Structure 1
Protein backbone atom coordinates (compact mmCIF):
# COMPACT_ATOMS: atom_id res chain seq x y z
CA UNK A 1 0.00 0.00 0.00
CA UNK A 2 1.33 3.43 -0.98
CA UNK A 3 0.91 6.23 1.50
CA UNK A 4 1.42 8.95 -1.13
CA UNK A 5 1.08 9.06 -4.93
CA UNK A 6 2.25 11.54 -7.54
CA UNK A 7 0.04 13.33 -10.06
CA UNK A 8 0.79 15.42 -13.15
CA UNK A 9 -1.62 17.86 -14.80
CA UNK A 10 -1.72 19.40 -18.27
CA UNK A 11 -4.39 21.72 -19.70
CA UNK A 12 -7.03 18.99 -20.13
CA UNK A 13 -5.39 15.86 -18.77
CA UNK A 14 -4.33 14.36 -15.46
CA UNK A 15 -1.85 11.51 -15.03
CA UNK A 16 -1.62 9.57 -11.76
CA UNK A 17 0.82 7.10 -10.28
CA UNK A 18 -1.97 4.53 -10.04
CA UNK A 19 -2.54 4.53 -13.83
CA UNK A 20 0.67 5.88 -15.39
CA UNK A 21 4.43 5.55 -15.33
CA UNK A 22 6.51 8.53 -14.17
CA UNK A 23 8.37 8.43 -17.52
CA UNK A 24 5.03 9.01 -19.32
CA UNK A 25 4.95 12.60 -18.05
CA UNK A 26 5.40 15.16 -20.84
CA UNK A 27 7.38 17.82 -18.99
CA UNK A 28 6.91 20.35 -21.80
CA UNK A 29 3.11 20.35 -21.30
CA UNK A 30 3.23 20.18 -17.51
CA UNK A 31 1.22 22.79 -15.59
CA UNK A 32 1.09 21.18 -12.12
CA UNK A 33 2.94 18.33 -10.50
CA UNK A 34 2.47 17.02 -7.01
CA UNK A 35 2.02 14.29 -4.50
CA UNK A 36 -1.01 13.46 -2.40
CA UNK A 37 -1.90 11.10 0.41
CA UNK A 38 -1.83 10.63 4.15
CA UNK A 39 -3.84 13.85 4.62
CA UNK A 40 -1.39 16.07 2.71
CA UNK A 41 -1.26 17.40 -0.86
CA UNK A 42 1.84 19.04 -2.34
CA UNK A 43 1.24 20.87 -5.62
CA UNK A 44 4.01 22.54 -7.67
CA UNK A 45 2.62 25.22 -10.00
CA UNK A 46 5.31 24.97 -12.66
CA UNK A 47 4.86 28.22 -14.63
CA UNK A 48 4.40 30.41 -11.54
CA UNK A 49 7.13 28.69 -9.51
CA UNK A 50 5.30 28.22 -6.22
CA UNK A 51 4.01 25.31 -4.17
CA UNK A 52 0.78 24.75 -2.35
CA UNK A 53 0.78 22.40 0.64
CA UNK A 54 -2.85 21.79 1.53
CA UNK A 55 -4.04 25.41 1.90
CA UNK A 56 -0.59 26.98 2.42
CA UNK A 57 1.27 28.82 -0.34
CA UNK A 58 5.06 28.36 -0.37
CA UNK A 59 7.63 30.28 -2.43
CA UNK A 60 11.39 29.74 -2.47
CA UNK A 61 13.79 32.65 -2.98
CA UNK A 62 17.52 32.35 -3.48
CA UNK A 63 19.19 35.74 -2.99
CA UNK A 64 15.80 37.43 -3.52
CA UNK A 65 15.11 35.62 -6.83
CA UNK A 66 12.19 33.23 -7.14
CA UNK A 67 13.25 29.67 -7.92
CA UNK A 68 10.82 26.95 -8.90
CA UNK A 69 9.78 27.97 -12.42
CA UNK A 70 11.07 24.72 -13.85
CA UNK A 71 9.58 21.55 -15.25
CA UNK A 72 12.56 19.44 -14.13
CA UNK A 73 10.55 17.62 -11.47
CA UNK A 74 11.75 15.09 -8.90
CA UNK A 75 9.69 12.48 -7.08
CA UNK A 76 10.85 9.40 -5.19
CA UNK A 77 10.42 7.44 -1.99
CA UNK A 78 12.94 6.28 0.59
CA UNK A 79 12.74 2.69 1.83
CA UNK A 80 14.46 0.62 4.44
CA UNK A 81 14.66 -3.14 4.34
CA UNK A 82 14.80 -5.31 7.42
CA UNK A 83 15.82 -8.94 7.15
CA UNK A 84 14.87 -11.39 9.87
CA UNK A 85 18.21 -13.20 10.29
CA UNK A 86 17.04 -15.16 13.32
CA UNK A 87 14.38 -17.16 11.50
CA UNK A 88 15.12 -19.94 9.04
CA UNK A 89 13.29 -18.25 6.18
CA UNK A 90 15.24 -14.95 6.32
CA UNK A 91 12.22 -12.90 5.22
CA UNK A 92 12.88 -9.33 4.20
CA UNK A 93 10.38 -6.61 5.04
CA UNK A 94 10.41 -3.27 3.26
CA UNK A 95 9.05 -0.04 4.79
CA UNK A 96 8.73 3.37 3.16
CA UNK A 97 10.09 5.97 5.56
CA UNK A 98 9.89 9.08 3.39
CA UNK A 99 8.52 10.63 0.23
CA UNK A 100 10.22 13.42 -1.71
CA UNK A 101 8.86 15.78 -4.34
CA UNK A 102 10.39 18.92 -5.77
CA UNK A 103 12.48 20.30 -8.61
CA UNK A 104 15.96 20.87 -10.03
CA UNK A 105 17.22 24.03 -11.69
CA UNK A 106 20.35 26.21 -11.97
CA UNK A 107 21.35 29.85 -12.26
CA UNK A 108 24.53 31.92 -12.73
CA UNK A 109 25.70 31.37 -9.14
CA UNK A 110 24.72 27.71 -8.65
CA UNK A 111 25.29 24.82 -11.03
CA UNK A 112 22.76 22.62 -9.27
CA UNK A 113 19.77 23.80 -7.26
CA UNK A 114 17.55 21.04 -5.91
CA UNK A 115 14.58 21.76 -3.63
CA UNK A 116 12.59 18.86 -2.20
CA UNK A 117 9.67 18.61 0.16
CA UNK A 118 10.31 15.64 2.38
CA UNK A 119 7.49 13.82 4.13
CA UNK A 120 9.62 12.13 6.80
CA UNK A 121 7.44 9.34 8.21
CA UNK A 122 10.22 7.97 10.42
CA UNK A 123 10.31 11.23 12.44
CA UNK A 124 6.75 12.39 11.64
CA UNK A 125 7.95 15.71 10.24
CA UNK A 126 7.57 17.76 7.09
CA UNK A 127 10.89 19.12 5.89
CA UNK A 128 12.51 20.96 3.01
CA UNK A 129 15.79 19.60 1.74
CA UNK A 130 17.96 21.94 -0.31
CA UNK A 131 21.05 20.90 -2.26
CA UNK A 132 23.26 23.49 -3.93
CA UNK A 133 26.53 23.46 -5.87
CA UNK A 134 28.03 26.97 -5.82
CA UNK A 135 30.09 28.19 -8.77
CA UNK A 136 30.49 31.93 -8.02
CA UNK A 137 29.83 32.60 -4.32
CA UNK A 138 30.36 31.04 -0.90
CA UNK A 139 27.26 32.43 0.82
CA UNK A 140 23.66 33.23 -0.06
CA UNK A 141 20.25 33.89 1.46
CA UNK A 142 17.59 31.20 1.14
CA UNK A 143 14.06 32.34 1.94
CA UNK A 144 11.02 30.16 2.41
CA UNK A 145 7.88 32.30 2.18
CA UNK A 146 4.80 30.59 3.62
CA UNK A 147 1.52 32.48 3.21
CA UNK A 148 3.45 35.76 2.92
CA UNK A 149 5.64 35.20 6.02
CA UNK A 150 9.34 35.05 5.17
CA UNK A 151 11.74 32.69 6.91
CA UNK A 152 15.33 33.59 6.02
CA UNK A 153 18.33 31.30 6.25
CA UNK A 154 21.91 32.36 5.58
CA UNK A 155 23.71 29.54 3.76
CA UNK A 156 27.49 29.21 3.89
CA UNK A 157 29.70 27.02 1.69
CA UNK A 158 33.28 25.89 2.27
CA UNK A 159 34.27 25.40 -1.38
CA UNK A 160 33.10 26.33 -4.84
CA UNK A 161 31.92 23.41 -7.03
CA UNK A 162 31.23 21.26 -3.95
CA UNK A 163 27.60 20.24 -3.41
CA UNK A 164 26.17 20.93 0.03
CA UNK A 165 22.88 19.87 1.57
CA UNK A 166 20.66 21.77 4.01
CA UNK A 167 17.47 20.56 5.73
CA UNK A 168 14.76 22.62 7.43
CA UNK A 169 11.60 21.65 9.30
CA UNK A 170 8.50 23.48 8.12
Structure 2
Protein backbone atom coordinates (compact mmCIF):
# COMPACT_ATOMS: atom_id res chain seq x y z
CA UNK A 1 0.00 0.00 0.00
CA UNK A 2 2.84 2.38 0.83
CA UNK A 3 4.41 2.18 -2.61
CA UNK A 4 1.04 2.74 -4.26
CA UNK A 5 0.53 5.91 -2.20
CA UNK A 6 3.95 7.31 -3.04
CA UNK A 7 3.78 6.42 -6.73
CA UNK A 8 0.29 7.92 -6.98
CA UNK A 9 1.59 11.14 -5.38
CA UNK A 10 4.40 11.35 -7.94
CA UNK A 11 1.98 10.71 -10.82
CA UNK A 12 -0.42 13.39 -9.53
CA UNK A 13 2.34 15.98 -9.16
CA UNK A 14 3.66 15.25 -12.67
CA UNK A 15 0.14 15.66 -14.03
CA UNK A 16 -0.83 18.78 -12.05
CA UNK A 17 2.46 20.68 -12.22
CA UNK A 18 4.13 19.93 -15.57
CA UNK A 19 7.45 21.23 -16.85
CA UNK A 20 7.34 24.92 -17.89
CA UNK A 21 7.01 25.44 -21.64
CA UNK A 22 10.46 27.01 -22.02
CA UNK A 23 12.07 23.73 -20.88
CA UNK A 24 10.84 21.97 -24.03
CA UNK A 25 13.76 23.48 -25.98
CA UNK A 26 16.22 21.43 -23.94
CA UNK A 27 14.41 18.12 -24.30
CA UNK A 28 14.17 17.59 -20.55
CA UNK A 29 10.37 17.62 -20.58
CA UNK A 30 10.29 13.98 -21.77
CA UNK A 31 11.48 12.89 -18.34
CA UNK A 32 9.21 13.18 -15.26
CA UNK A 33 9.60 16.44 -13.36
CA UNK A 34 8.89 14.87 -9.96
CA UNK A 35 10.76 11.83 -8.66
CA UNK A 36 10.41 9.66 -5.59
CA UNK A 37 13.67 9.97 -3.66
CA UNK A 38 12.80 7.90 -0.62
CA UNK A 39 9.82 6.20 0.96
CA UNK A 40 9.97 6.25 4.76
CA UNK A 41 7.34 4.86 7.11
CA UNK A 42 5.70 8.23 7.78
CA UNK A 43 6.96 10.36 4.87
CA UNK A 44 7.46 10.34 1.14
CA UNK A 45 10.46 12.36 -0.07
CA UNK A 46 9.72 13.96 -3.44
CA UNK A 47 12.23 15.77 -5.66
CA UNK A 48 11.20 18.57 -8.02
CA UNK A 49 13.86 18.34 -10.72
CA UNK A 50 13.00 21.75 -12.20
CA UNK A 51 13.32 23.74 -8.96
CA UNK A 52 15.89 21.38 -7.39
CA UNK A 53 13.80 21.21 -4.22
CA UNK A 54 12.89 18.09 -2.29
CA UNK A 55 10.17 17.93 0.31
CA UNK A 56 8.91 15.45 2.87
CA UNK A 57 5.22 14.78 2.24
CA UNK A 58 3.55 13.11 5.24
CA UNK A 59 1.78 9.85 4.36
CA UNK A 60 -1.07 10.90 6.66
CA UNK A 61 -1.81 13.77 4.27
CA UNK A 62 -1.51 11.58 1.18
CA UNK A 63 -4.08 9.12 2.53
CA UNK A 64 -6.57 11.90 3.32
CA UNK A 65 -9.16 12.02 0.48
CA UNK A 66 -9.66 15.79 0.95
CA UNK A 67 -5.93 16.59 0.67
CA UNK A 68 -4.99 18.64 -2.40
CA UNK A 69 -1.40 17.69 -3.15
CA UNK A 70 -0.82 20.22 -5.94
CA UNK A 71 -1.94 23.21 -3.85
CA UNK A 72 0.02 21.95 -0.84
CA UNK A 73 3.16 21.56 -2.95
CA UNK A 74 2.84 25.07 -4.42
CA UNK A 75 2.33 26.62 -0.95
CA UNK A 76 5.35 24.80 0.49
CA UNK A 77 7.61 25.73 -2.43
CA UNK A 78 6.42 29.36 -2.31
CA UNK A 79 7.24 29.52 1.39
CA UNK A 80 10.69 28.01 0.84
CA UNK A 81 11.50 30.37 -2.02
CA UNK A 82 10.26 33.40 -0.04
CA UNK A 83 12.46 32.46 2.91
CA UNK A 84 15.43 31.96 0.60
CA UNK A 85 14.94 35.35 -1.05
CA UNK A 86 14.72 37.06 2.36
CA UNK A 87 17.98 35.39 3.37
CA UNK A 88 19.60 36.57 0.12
CA UNK A 89 18.42 40.15 0.71
CA UNK A 90 19.75 40.08 4.27
CA UNK A 91 23.10 38.71 3.09
CA UNK A 92 23.32 41.31 0.31
CA UNK A 93 22.57 44.10 2.81
CA UNK A 94 25.20 42.80 5.24
CA UNK A 95 27.77 42.52 2.42
CA UNK A 96 26.99 46.09 1.33
CA UNK A 97 27.40 47.39 4.88
CA UNK A 98 30.74 45.61 5.24
CA UNK A 99 31.99 47.10 1.96
CA UNK A 100 30.79 50.63 2.75
CA UNK A 101 31.51 50.75 6.45
CA UNK A 102 32.34 54.27 7.63
CA UNK A 103 34.78 55.32 10.33
CA UNK A 104 32.82 56.48 13.36
CA UNK A 105 34.99 59.61 13.77
CA UNK A 106 34.57 60.97 10.23
CA UNK A 107 30.94 60.15 9.57
CA UNK A 108 28.48 62.99 9.40
CA UNK A 109 24.88 63.03 8.38
CA UNK A 110 23.07 66.12 7.15
CA UNK A 111 19.52 66.33 8.42
CA UNK A 112 16.92 68.65 6.98
CA UNK A 113 13.41 69.07 8.28
CA UNK A 114 10.17 70.64 7.17
CA UNK A 115 7.48 71.55 9.64
CA UNK A 116 3.81 72.31 9.27
CA UNK A 117 2.33 75.42 10.79
CA UNK A 118 0.85 74.91 14.25
CA UNK A 119 -2.14 76.80 15.52
CA UNK A 120 -1.16 79.38 18.13
CA UNK A 121 -1.62 78.31 21.71
CA UNK A 122 -1.64 74.59 20.96
CA UNK A 123 1.31 72.55 22.22
CA UNK A 124 0.33 69.22 20.67
CA UNK A 125 1.61 67.81 17.43
CA UNK A 126 -0.20 68.97 14.32
CA UNK A 127 -2.65 66.42 13.00
CA UNK A 128 -3.51 65.70 9.42
CA UNK A 129 -6.69 67.32 8.29
CA UNK A 130 -9.21 64.70 7.27
CA UNK A 131 -11.99 66.45 5.47
CA UNK A 132 -12.40 64.50 2.24
CA UNK A 133 -15.73 63.10 3.41
CA UNK A 134 -17.14 66.49 4.46
CA UNK A 135 -19.26 67.89 1.63
CA UNK A 136 -18.51 71.53 0.86
CA UNK A 137 -21.35 72.16 -1.57
CA UNK A 138 -24.66 70.52 -0.73
CA UNK A 139 -25.88 71.07 -4.30
CA UNK A 140 -23.11 68.85 -5.61
CA UNK A 141 -24.38 65.43 -6.66
CA UNK A 142 -22.61 62.39 -5.34
CA UNK A 143 -22.16 59.91 -8.20
CA UNK A 144 -23.76 56.51 -7.85
CA UNK A 145 -21.46 53.50 -8.19
CA UNK A 146 -22.33 50.88 -10.77
CA UNK A 147 -23.44 47.57 -9.25
CA UNK A 148 -23.18 44.50 -11.47
CA UNK A 149 -24.84 41.24 -10.48
CA UNK A 150 -23.14 38.14 -11.88
CA UNK A 151 -23.79 34.46 -11.33
CA UNK A 152 -20.94 32.34 -9.98
CA UNK A 153 -21.67 28.63 -9.65
CA UNK A 154 -25.37 29.37 -9.77
CA UNK A 155 -25.26 31.95 -6.95
CA UNK A 156 -25.67 35.69 -7.50
CA UNK A 157 -22.69 37.87 -6.58
CA UNK A 158 -22.61 41.65 -6.58
CA UNK A 159 -19.61 43.57 -7.86
CA UNK A 160 -19.18 47.28 -7.20
CA UNK A 161 -17.48 49.07 -10.10
CA UNK A 162 -15.72 52.39 -9.61
CA UNK A 163 -14.36 54.58 -12.38
CA UNK A 164 -12.05 56.35 -9.95
CA UNK A 165 -14.20 59.44 -9.56
CA UNK A 166 -15.93 57.96 -6.53
CA UNK A 167 -12.79 57.71 -4.39
CA UNK A 168 -13.93 60.36 -1.91
CA UNK A 169 -17.38 58.85 -1.59
CA UNK A 170 -16.80 55.08 -1.61
CA UNK A 171 -16.62 54.53 2.13
CA UNK A 172 -19.79 56.48 2.88
CA UNK A 173 -21.59 54.90 -0.06
CA UNK A 174 -20.74 51.36 1.02
CA UNK A 175 -22.08 52.02 4.50
CA UNK A 176 -25.65 52.43 3.20
TM-score with structure 2 length normalisation? Answer: 0.19
Report the structure, 1 or 2, having the larger strand content. Answer: 1
Asked which structure has the greater RCO (Cα within 8 Å, sep 6+), the reply is 1
**Highest Rg: 1 or 2?**
2
Report the structure, 1 or 2, having the larger helix content. Answer: 2
